[in-house]
């Protein structure tokens, strides 16, 4: 009876612990979904501390990692099967219900450290770095996943002693074979972008040397066929799990996404060395689309230059998806001219998402493809606007790509400088005249000439007046003539 009471208390503790962890990071819908795909929790019998059979079974005989001498640390083909369920009331919640393996981390130097776990296909695994043994310690960082894929987490640790536990949410009761790797952060060596135009569609299946992907504890960035737009590959930027996320599916704010939820940020880093001898406007553009899982606020996307968020040509500084997985691709363009006279500048493309791609709905992810940095060549455009008789038309408006660019003077002359080279749509508009639109191939580096001869309609109506005296119930049919004697077409209606 005494043993049964202890086991019942342990089971209740596990359930309460799981509920507490979920309540901090997930909505009721998310909890229900994750529990539905996991299935019933299996109770793994408890093992008392100190009954260790091998190094790593518990905190009394842990696997010791001295960061000063042992990094990078590679514990390959390891297992926690057969080690017992010593700790089941920790901050890992449901993910500490399986068998445990314990590492003692002796940190000598403050730094960012990465913990990479490859469960080799085993699902529902969890790992946590704690400031004490799991039965008394608090979590500093955790990573849990229903997926059997490899993942990592990064955290800054001050000098001291910490504990790392690898566990499962049973079933499965344990991980038969896994790799654990611990490395110290080394700033990435970024190959600068020095040749323009720089074009990358990722169809080589990997990142070029000039683009560095930076995943974090709850995020990833990788080249994937699922992120391609009219190509073979693109870049997938996704979240991972609920750990470390604050904010609701429709209420997470921009600040929460990029400050509170920093472990969920996936990043692409570039360093640009402008060509001081190049002509034109330095420009960046790429294709992007987004998905979300339970709500739009679980997915945010932005671009920073030298650490400051920047707007695209439409004035947007961040983006959220409108649908779970039905948003179209959009082309984002950025004016880099404020930086093109610098010796160098840094670009950071960031995505903050809660869950991984296709976890639920579309998952919380952004896809990037067809990346370009180039100099937009410029030319000048000028010309004269006249009627068909050769007389100058003043006050005519010149639109380039739908934007008012110039107005003719009294002599009918207009001039526009610094127009992007290539095919452009130019329209001349003057009340009383037919609009005149042409597609003009503007040559860079020179003054281009485009003249407009404006047509105008002249509508004559005959007869101008109809007077008839009619008897009651008498009907009359008559005809009115409409004649356009002008030089341009005209549309008309009568009521």
Expressed in percent and rounded to 5, the helix, strand and coil fractions of the chain are: 15, 40, 50
CA distances from 81 to 90, 99, 100 (A): 19, 6, 8
Q: Token pair for residue 452? A: 């407009």
Torsion (CA) 445, 447, 449, 450 in degrees, nearest 10: 60
Q: CATH 2.60.120.380: which residues of the chain?
A: 2-184
Q: With 60 as the cut, is the pLDDT of residue 13 above it?
A: no
CA distances from 478 to 381, 461, 494 (A): 53, 14, 15
What mean pLDDT is predicted for residues 358-377? 97
- Whether the Cβ atoms of residue 92 and residue 141 lie closer than 8 Å to each other: no
d(CA 297, CA 299): 5
More confident residue, 153 or 171: 171
d(CA 122, CA 79): 11
More confident residue, 396 or 475: 396
What mean pLDDT is predicted for residues 155-164? 95
Q: Token pair for residue 57? A: 């079974």
Lowest mean pLDDT among 138-142, 349-353, 372-376: 138-142
d(CA 334, CA 309): 12
Q: With 50 as the cut, is the pLDDT of residue 360 above it?
A: yes
Q: CATH 2.60.40.1120: which residues of the chain?
A: 378-454
pLDDT tier, 4 (very low <50, low <70, confident <90, very high otherwise):
very low
- Per-residue model confidence as pLDDT tens digits over 441-483: 999 889 999 999 999 998 777 777 777 888 888 888 877 777 8
pLDDT at 151 (0 to 100): 84
Q: Token pair for residue 247? A: 């904010």
pLDDT at 41 (0 to 100): 84
- Whether the Cβ atoms of residue 266 and residue 350 lie closer than 8 Å to each other: yes
pLDDT at 25 (0 to 100): 61
pLDDT at 51 (0 to 100): 65
- Whether the Cβ atoms of residue 173 and residue 236 lie closer than 8 Å to each other: no
Task: Calculate what percentage of the chain has a pLDDT beyond 70.
Answer: 94
Q: Token pair for residue 148? A: 């059997």
Torsion (CA) 193, 199, 203, 206 in degrees, nearest 10: 10
What residues contact residue 84 under an 8 Å CB cut-off, 6+ apart? 46, 47, 51, 53, 57, 58, 99, 100
What architecture does CATH give domain 198-373? Answer: Sandwich (2.60)
pLDDT at 5 (0 to 100): 34
Q: What is the CATH number of domain 2-184?
A: 2.60.120.380
pLDDT tier, 312 (very low <50, low <70, confident <90, very high otherwise):
very high
Exposed / middle / buried, residue 5 (Cβ in 10 Å: 0-12, 13-18, 19+) = exposed
Q: Token pair for residue 74? A: 């590679």
440-445: Cβ within 8 A, 24+ apart: 440/381, 442/379, 442/381, 443/379, 444/279, 444/280, 444/377, 444/378, 444/379, 445/279, 445/377, 445/378, 445/379
- Per-residue model confidence as pLDDT tens digits over 42-99: 888 778 777 667 999 999 999 999 999 999 999 999 999 999 999 999 999 899 999 9
Lowest mean pLDDT among 16-30, 209-223, 415-429, 455-469: 16-30
pLDDT at 326 (0 to 100): 97
- Whether the Cβ atoms of residue 165 and residue 186 lie closer than 8 Å to each other: no
Residue showing tokens 């000048």:
380
- Per-residue model confidence as pLDDT tens digits over 227-257: 999 999 999 999 988 878 999 999 999 999 9
- Taking the mean position of all CA atoms in its chain, how far away is CA 12? 41
What mean pLDDT is predicted for residues 198-210? 97
pLDDT at 26 (0 to 100): 75
- Give the three-state DSSP class for 155: strand
More confident residue, 153 or 195: 195
What is the DSSP pairing of strand 265-272 with strand 345-353? antiparallel
pLDDT at 477 (0 to 100): 81
Nearest partner of 222 among 372, 371, 330, 367, judged by Cα: 367
Please give the CATH topology (third level) of the domain spanning 378-454.
Answer: Immunoglobulin-like (2.60.40)
What's the farthest any 2 CA atoms get from each other in the chain?
119
pLDDT at 189 (0 to 100): 85
CA distances from 404 to 185, 323, 448 (A): 52, 35, 18
Q: CATH 2.60.120.260: which residues of the chain?
A: 198-373
Q: What is the mean pLDDT of the chain?
A: 90
pLDDT at 12 (0 to 100): 32
Exposed / middle / buried, residue 414 (Cβ in 10 Å: 0-12, 13-18, 19+) = buried
Prediction pTM value: 0.66
- Taking the mean position of all CA atoms in its chain, how far away is CA 378? 31
What mean pLDDT is predicted for residues 426-444? 96
């Amino acid at each position: 009876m005494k043993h049964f009471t202890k086991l019942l208390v342990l089971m209740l503790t596990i359930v309460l612990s799981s509920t507490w962890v979920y309540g901090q990071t997930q909505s009721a819908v998310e909890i229900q979904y994750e529990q539905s795909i996991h299935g019933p929790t299996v109770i793994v019998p408890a093992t008392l501390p100190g009954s260790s059979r091998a190094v790593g079974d518990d905190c009394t005989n842990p696997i010791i990692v001295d960061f000063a001498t042992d990094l990078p640390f590679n514990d390959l083909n390891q297992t926690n099967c057969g080690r017992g369920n010593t700790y089941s009331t920790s901050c890992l919640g449901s993910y500490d219900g399986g068998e445990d393996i314990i590492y003692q981390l002796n940190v000598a130097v403050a730094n960012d450290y990465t913990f990479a776990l490859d469960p080799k296909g085993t699902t529902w695994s969890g790992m946590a770095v704690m400031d004490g043994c799991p039965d008394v310690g608090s979590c500093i960082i955790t990573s849990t996943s229903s997926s059997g894929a490899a993942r990592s987490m990064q955290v800054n640790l001050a000098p001291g002693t910490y504990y790392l536990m690898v566990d499962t949410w049973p079933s499965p009761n344990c991980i038969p074979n896994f790799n654990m790797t611990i490395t110290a952060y080394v700033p990435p060596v970024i190959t600068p972008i020095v040749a323009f135009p720089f074009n990358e569609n990722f169809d080589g299946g990997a990142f070029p040397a000039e683009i560095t992907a930076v995943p974090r504890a709850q995020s990833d960035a990788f080249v994937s066929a699922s992120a391609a737009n009219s190509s073979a590959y693109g870049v997938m930027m996704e979240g991972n799990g609920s750990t470390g996320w604050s904010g609701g599916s429709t209420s997470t704010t921009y600040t929460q996404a990029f400050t509170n939820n920093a472990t969920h940020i996936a990043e692409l880093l570039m360093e640009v060395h402008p060509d001081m001898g190049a002509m034109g406007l330095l420009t960046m553009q790429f294709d992007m689309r987004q998905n979300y899982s339970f709500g739009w606020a679980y997915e945010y996307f932005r671009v920073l230059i030298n650490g400051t968020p920047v707007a695209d040509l439409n004035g947007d500084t961040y983006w959220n998806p409108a649908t779970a997985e039905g948003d179209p691709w959009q082309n984002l363009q950025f004016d880099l001219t404020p930086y093109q006279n610098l010796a160098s500048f840094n670009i950071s493309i960031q995505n903050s998402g809660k869950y991984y791609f296709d976890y639920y709905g579309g998952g919380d992810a952004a896809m990037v493809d067809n990346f370009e940095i180039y100099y937009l060549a410029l030319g000048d455009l000028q010309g004269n606007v006249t009627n068909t008789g050769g007389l100058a038309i003043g006050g005519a408006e010149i639109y380039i790509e739908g934007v008012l660019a110039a107005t003719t003077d009294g002599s009918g002359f207009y001039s526009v400088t610094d127009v992007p080279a290539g095919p452009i749509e130019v329209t001349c508009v003057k009340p009383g005249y037919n609009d005149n639109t042409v597609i003009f191939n503007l040559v860079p580096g020179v003054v281009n000439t485009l003249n407009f001869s404006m047509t105008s309609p002249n509508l004559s109506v005959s007869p101008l007046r109809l007077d008839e005296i009619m008897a009651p119930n008498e009907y009359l049919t008559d005809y009115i003539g409409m004649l356009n004697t002008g030089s341009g077409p005209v549309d008309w209606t009568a009521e």
